[in-house]
Structures are given as structure tokens and as C-alpha cells.
Structure 1
Amino acid sequence: MKKIKYTLLIFCLAFLGCSEDNDVNIETVNITLKFTQNWDGTAISASDFNQFNFTNENGDLISIERLRYVVSNVVIGGVEKEYQLINIGENIGSEISLEGITKGSKSLSFTFGFRDEDNLDGVYADLNSTSFNVPEMLGGGYHYMQFDGKYKDVNNADANFNYHAIRAADITDPDNVILQDTSFEVDLGDIEITENATIEIKMNIAEWFKNPNTWNLNELNTVLMPNFDAQILMNANGQSVFSLGEITSN
């Protein structure tokens, strides 16, 4: 009996030793997510701002003056980044570094904006300092996106637009504000991870104006934050904005 117990003890120790070796030898890689912007395939950077270079689906000629947006719950292979503000005009935040990702097929997803459970008023110090908050009368929390510019109106005059995406708020009755989560998840599918790499995530800005709702800036231009229906339209158009781009080895 003692001999059997001794043999079992040796077997268990050997098994645990192998398990520890396997854990130590698991290979991991580092991934950089790079957010880029384009207009139906034409790359856009801050150098393209403040110029009437773009025509939307409705035929409105526009210039971009500011574009910044939040992505949250960024996850690949179980490694997560809580949130990040991407500011195109100031070239800030366009890359997210994620370390310790095991090799193999990994799903990549993120949320545009903040889900309701994360969209808590005043909790993100960096967003507070950059005026990304939403007024309390509109439910508080944070913007999903601030997209500002100008367009040529029906008289060919320069007019402002403020395409600001937030949680939809119906303030018809100020004592009973109705809120609807209009953030959305972007699922970019499974990606085969074999080495350190940069994964491009593309935002086609033109899609905000055309699919499935053709956006007429002469009708929907400013004061869109308290416009519940406009926020629902933005949510619908945003579903086709992001796509997977190039994957390059680092």
C-alpha cells in the first residue's frame, strides 16, 4: 500500500511539473490596433480638415473641422482596453497597444461609445478635461462622437453642422427624461494571430451620412444632441462605418 501511495505521489508531482512547464512556455504576442479614417476609400488625416473636399450621399459639399470619438470594451484574445478617445484633428489616441495575447485565432471587437453600464457621469477624468461630457439634462455621461464642420447650404453659403452622437434622450417631459442606449458593438470577426502585428481598423466617414439613412444637412445640422430621432438615425448609420483593414507584422 505504501508503495502505491509513493508511486501516485511521484506521478502527481511529475504531472504538476509538466503543467507548470506548459504554462511557462505559452507564447504570447503584442498587438497594436490602429484606427484610420477614410472617405469611401480616400484616406483622411488632420491635413484634410477645413477644406470643402467631400460630398456626402445627399450631394452636400462639406469640410471637416473636428472629429473625435470614443471606443470602449476593446477586446482581442481576452485582453481588454477599457476605453480610448481618438482625436483625429490632434492626432491623438489612434493606436491602442495590447500585450500578452496568445497565438491562434482570436476574435476582435469593441463598442462605439459607452454601453449604459459604463456611461457614468463624471467618472473618466481625461474625458472630463476635454469637454466630452453630456449635460445632465440630457442624461449625463459622455459623448460617443463629436463630428463638426461646415457644409454649403441651398444658397451655397457656409453653414455649420455638429454631428454629435450621444445616448438618445427624449426630454419632452423634463421630469421624466427617456434614455436609450445608442452605443453599438463592432465585431470584426476572428483573426489569426501568429506574431507581433498592427491591425488596422478603418472608419469610413462617408457612411455616417448614407447607410441606411441618407442624411440631409439642410434638415439635420445642429442641435442634434436633444433630438432623440436623430440619435436613432446615427446609431443605424454607424453600423456600417467600421471595417477590418490591413494586418502588418511589427
Structure 2
Amino acid sequence: MKKIIMLLFVIIAFSSCKDEKDCCVNPSKNVSLKFTHNWDGSNISSSDFNNFKFTTKNGESVSVSRLRYVISNIRLINGNEIFTFSNYNLIDIEEEKGFNLTLPEKIFPGSYQLKFTFGFTDEDNKDGVYQDLNSASFNVPGMLGGGYHYMQFDGKYKDTNNADANFNYHVIRAVNRSDPNNLIFEDTSFEVDLGTLSFINDSEITIKANIAEWFKNPNTWNLNELNTVLMPNFDAQILMSANGKSVFSLGEVTQ
């Protein structure tokens, strides 16, 4: 009987030491994201707004008055484990909001894929359900199918007469309104995959958004032809979605 008791004691002690060793050798880590914005490498902040400081690939001089966008389903993936930073996040450069996100739970050291969706997938693009976006006037009118904007990007450009002209580069789910009673939609959100990252310590991941890409890759954007009333323009929305896929890239990872 004493031998059995001693054996149980050894097993319990060994298990306790093992758990303690795992905890101490591989403690869980905090992970945060930081979004930064640039125009072909030159940093952009709200102090740069309303000045003709930028030039598109097509040669138009541009000033920015508003730039805000939504990303959703922001997550780290390790095999079957998925850790979600946020279901969605509104980033507003003018108001300097939404630049930083912290994972609500700690993760163990290891390799994780970092992914998010620009805008909302059709499944998540539910009309009127996100109260903060409603308050921010981020809704899409019912005549265009409802739901939410993916991005509101407004400003001015110098037209062919060197006069100031407005642009409203608004990105939404593409809608074909050829028959107003039978709207045809195409989900123009897209997934951003920033690759696999290895975490050893607490980490901050910088995600860079190059705003110039919206006007150049793969489609060279001509603001003299496509400037306003772009939301109901099905073809323009398809072009925007294609250009957006090169906007985001992985920046510095500090640990």
C-alpha cells in the first residue's frame, strides 16, 4: 500500500513539475498590431491632409481630405487554432483612430499566419448591425444594396486645366443596377495574407498601407475619368478591388 501511495506521489509531482516547466519555459505572449500609412514610402498623417503633396502614377497632383477604411476578421492562425484580434476595425487617418489593436488573449510562442479581410465579406456585410459604423455614417444606401462601405477616400486633384476638382474614391461591394428591381452583387472584399510569423516574446507587428497603390497597381487610375459617383459604378468597383490587393504589407515586427 505504501508503495502505491509513493508511486502516486511521484506521478503527481512529476506532472506538476512538467506543467510548471512548460509554463516557465514557454510562457504565453501578448501580440499587438500597429497600422501605418505612407505614399510610396513617405509617411502620411492627418497633418498632411488638404495639401497637394502627392502625385498619382497617372500624374495627377492630389490632396487628401478624408481617408478611413474597415478591415475585418483580423486573426492569427496556428493549425486549427484561430486567435481573433477583432471582428472588424475602422481605421480613420484624419481622426487618428483604429491604428492599434491588441490580441485579447495571450498566445504561446510559435509560428502563426496573420490574415485579415479588407472590407466585409457578404456574410458579414449585414445592413445596419454595426452601431459604431452607423454613427460614423459608414452605411451604403439601400438603393445600392445596403451594408457598409469598405473605404471612404476623399480629396481633390488637379484636372487637365490645373483646376481643383473633387474625387470620392469610395469602395463598396460591387452592384450591377441594370435592373433596379433585381440588383446583382459581387463581393469585392479581399483577404490580406501577411505570411507566417514566429513569436518568441511579446510582439508588436507593424502593418503598412501604401495609399499610392490604390491608383496604380495593376490598374493605372485616371482621376480625370473616374473621380466621383463611383459607388454605383460596377466596373470601377472591380478595378478598385484589384488595386487594393497590393496596398498592405508587413512592416517591422518588434519582440
Q: Same fold (TM over 0.5)?
A: yes
Q: Is the 8 A contact 2:32 2:205 kept in 1?
A: yes
Aligned counterpart in structure 2 of residue 86 of structure 1, from 75, 88, 91: 91
Structure 1: gaps of 5 or more residues: none
Count matched residues: 248
For 1:168, the equivalent position in structure 2 comes to 174
Q: Deviations along 1:179-200, whole A, 9 cap, x unmatched? A: 1100000000011111112111
Matches within 5 A, 1:52-71: 52-71=52-71
In the alignment, structure 1 residue 192 sits paired with structure 2 residue 176? no
In structure 2, C-alpha distance between the alignment counterparts of 1:11 and 1:119, rounded to whole Å: 56
Task: Tell me how far apart the structure 2 counterparts of residues 64 and 72 of structure 1 sit (CA, whole Å).
Answer: 24
Would you say 1:30 and 2:30 are equivalent positions?
yes
Relative to the length of structure 1, the TM-score reads 0.91
Alignment gaps of 5+ in structure 2: 78-82
CA distance in 1, matches of 2:14, 2:86: 35
Q: Any idea what the Cα deviations from partners look like across 1:140-163, whole Å, max 9, x if unmatched?
A: 110000000000011111000000
Distance in 2 (CA, whole Å) between partners of 1:92 and 1:182 is 24
SS class of match (2:212): helix
Contact conserved, 1:79 with 1:100, CA < 8 A, in 2?
no
Aligned-residue offset at 1:7? 11
State how far apart, in whole Å, the 1-side matches of 2:239 and 2:252 are. Answer: 29
Matches within 5 A, 1:115-126: 115-126=121-132
CA distance in 1, matches of 2:134, 2:18: 47
Whichever residue aligns with residue 60 of structure 1, its letter is E
* RMSD (CA atoms): 2.3
Q: Are the counterparts in 1 of residues 73 and 84 from structure 2 also a CA contact under 8 Å? A: no
Q: Give 1:1-250 correspondences, 5 Å limit.
A: 26-77=26-77, 78-98=83-103, 99-249=105-255
The question of whether the paired residues in 1 share the 8 Å contact of 2:85 and 2:101 is answered with: no
Q: State the identity as a percent.
A: 63
Change (3 A) 1:48 1:15: same
Distance 2:38 2:170 in 1: 19
* Kept after mapping to 1: 8 A contact 2:117/2:189: yes
Aligned counterpart, 2:80: none
Q: For 2:218 and 2:240, how far apart are their aligned partners in 1? A: 10
Supply the AA of the counterpart residue of 1:113: G
Q: 1:6 & 1:175 partners in 2: Cα distance?
A: 78
Query: What whole-Å deviation, never above 9, does each CA across 1:103-160 have from its counterpart, x for those lacking one?
Result: 1111111000011111100111100000000011111110000000000011111000
Q: TM-score, normalised by structure 2?
A: 0.89
Letter paired with 1:76: L
Q: In structure 2, do the counterparts of structure 1 residues 19 and 209 end up closer, same or farther at CA, with 3 Å as the change threshold? A: same
